[in-house]
């Protein structure tokens, strides 16, 4: 009986959001967003864990013996792929912002356009 | 919004969000107290029905194969997006680059060994993805990572074949399109999209699991190429301006 993994997920999420809000560098902001997103991996995997269960891979093991939920693990895989896609686009936009305004500070870029 | 106002808003917002998060968690079953039913059902039926011992991959490429196709196209869209954002046709792209060597021979040697080892592990994860832990996505990222290491330990020239988009673009298309074609083949034969059409083979062998194996390889190719294309685009935009400095060392 423990809620620790969920609490860890909540903590990672909050720290990531705080990092995004206080960020002074677009690259740092992208990393913070990845941290926020990784809280969903922790949450998904802990939701699918079955007590005394092993990985849902039945090599040398009876089919149907206690194992974690494969659905959330597959979802985590999707989550990771989406995270890669998002960070690639953000980094590309950061490069463009730097090329146009000469800075990677989100506040500095806002000043330029405003 | 000024920085100070943002900090003042952030505090209460985070506290409120944290409280909501805690409330949501309090309503979840305790860690390990999984209630199902989908996980239990899949762990029982996927191995006998699809002859794949890795139920996660059976789920990814069969039970929710349509989702995975969407996922693959997300990656594809990201590559297209990055390419469009960063492509600058005015720059001369064929500039011959000086060879840059890592100063330390030991680091180079270890790096070169790691390129081979990473590539092998990546291929192993792809090939046995539906039998043991692994899969096309994971193997693809690892193989692409190993090839990127070649850039770190070697030179621009060593890496150049792996950033050739005339080679990578069609291959990326084969990966992403191949997935859709397997789905459409099922549709043409009169069943539902992405129905597992092919012989299921003997459980636990490379020739098992029918179309899961093909979809696994399609996504492996798509992911490897997507990673290499993304890296090539960033390299093109970001590293090339540093070239004069680079050449001086």
For residue range A54-88, list pLDDT tens digits in order. 888 888 888 878 888 899 999 998 899 889 889 98
Calculate how close chain A gets to B16, using CA atoms only, in Å.
Answer: 11
Calculate how close chain A gets to B167, using CA atoms only, in Å.
Answer: 21
Place of tokens 């980094």: A91
Does the pTM surpass 0.90? The reply is no
Average pLDDT of span B110-130 = 89
The beta-carbon neighbor of B133 closest among A55, A72, A81 is A55
First to last CA, chain A: 52
* Structural domains of chain A, ranges and CATH numbers in brackets: 4-113 (1.10.287.3510)
pLDDT at B19: 94
pLDDT at B92: 45
Provide the pLDDT confidence category of residue B102 given band limits of 50, 70 and 90: low
The C-alpha atoms of residue B78 and residue B172 are separated, in whole angstroms, by 12
pLDDT, tens only, B227-246 = 988 888 887 776 654 444 44
Interface test with B, best of A24, A64, A69 (most B CBs within 10 A): A69
Calculate how close chain B gets to A35, using CA atoms only, in Å.
Answer: 16
**With an 8 Å Cβ cutoff, are B14 and A17 in contact?**
yes
> Secondary structure of chain B in the HEC alphabet?
CCHHHHHHHHHHHHHHHHHHHHHHHHCCCCCCCCCCCHHHHHHHHHHHHHCCCEHHHHHHHHHCHHHHHHHHHHHHHHHHHHHHHHCCCCCCCCCCCCCCCCCCHHHHHHHHHHHHHHHHHHHHHHHCCCCCCCCHHHHHHHHHHHHHHHHHHCCHHHHHHHHCHHHHHHHHHHHHHHHHHHHHHHHHCCCCCCCCCCCCCCCCCCCCCCHHHHHHHHHHHHHHHHHHHHHHHHHHHHHHHHHHHHHHC
Contacts of A107 in chain B (CB under 8 A): 3
């Amino acid at each position: 009986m423990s809620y620790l993994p969920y609490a860890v997920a909540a903590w990672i999420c909050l720290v990531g959001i705080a990092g995004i809000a206080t960020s002074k560098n677009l690259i740092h902001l992208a990393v913070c967003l990845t941290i926020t997103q990784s809280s969903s991996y922790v949450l998904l995997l802990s939701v699918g864990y079955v007590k005394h269960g092993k990985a849902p891979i039945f090599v040398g093991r009876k089919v149907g013996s206690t194992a974690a939920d494969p659905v959330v693990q597959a979802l985590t895989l999707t989550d990771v792929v989406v995270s890669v896609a998002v960070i690639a686009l953000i980094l590309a936009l950061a490069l463009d912002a730097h090329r146009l305004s000469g800075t990677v500070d989100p506040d500095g870029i806002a000043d330029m356009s405003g | 919004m000024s920085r100070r106002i943002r900090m003042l808003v952030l505090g209460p917002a985070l506290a409120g969000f944290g409280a909501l998060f805690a409330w949501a968690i309090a309503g979840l079953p305790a860690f390990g107290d999984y209630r199902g039913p989908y996980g239990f059902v899949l762990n029982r039926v996927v191995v006998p029905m699809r002859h794949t011992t890795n139920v996660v991959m059976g789920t990814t490429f069969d039970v929710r194969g349509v989702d995975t196709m969407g996922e693959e196209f997300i990656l594809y869209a990201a590559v297209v997006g990055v390419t469009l954002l960063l492509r600058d046709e005015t720059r001369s792209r064929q500039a011959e680059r000086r060879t840059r060597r890592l100063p330390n021979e030991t680091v180079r040697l270890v790096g070169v060994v790691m390129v081979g080892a990473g590539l092998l592990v990546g291929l192993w994860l792809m090939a046995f993805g539906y039998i043991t832990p692994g899969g096309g996505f994971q193997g693809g990222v690892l193989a692409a990572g190993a090839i990127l290491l070649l850039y770190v330990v070697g030179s621009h020239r060593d890496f150049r074949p792996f950033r050739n988009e005339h080679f990578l673009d069609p291959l990326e298309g084969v990966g992403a399109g191949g997935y859709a074609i397997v789905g459409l083949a099922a549709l043409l034969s009169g069943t539902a999209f992405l129905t597992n059409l092919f012989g299921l083979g003997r459980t636990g062998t490379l020739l098992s699991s029918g179309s899961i194996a093909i979809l696994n390889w399609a996504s492996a190719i798509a992911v490897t190429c997507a990673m290499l294309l993304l890296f090539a685009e960033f390299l093109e935009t970001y590293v090339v301006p540093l070239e004069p400095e680079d050449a001086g060392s």
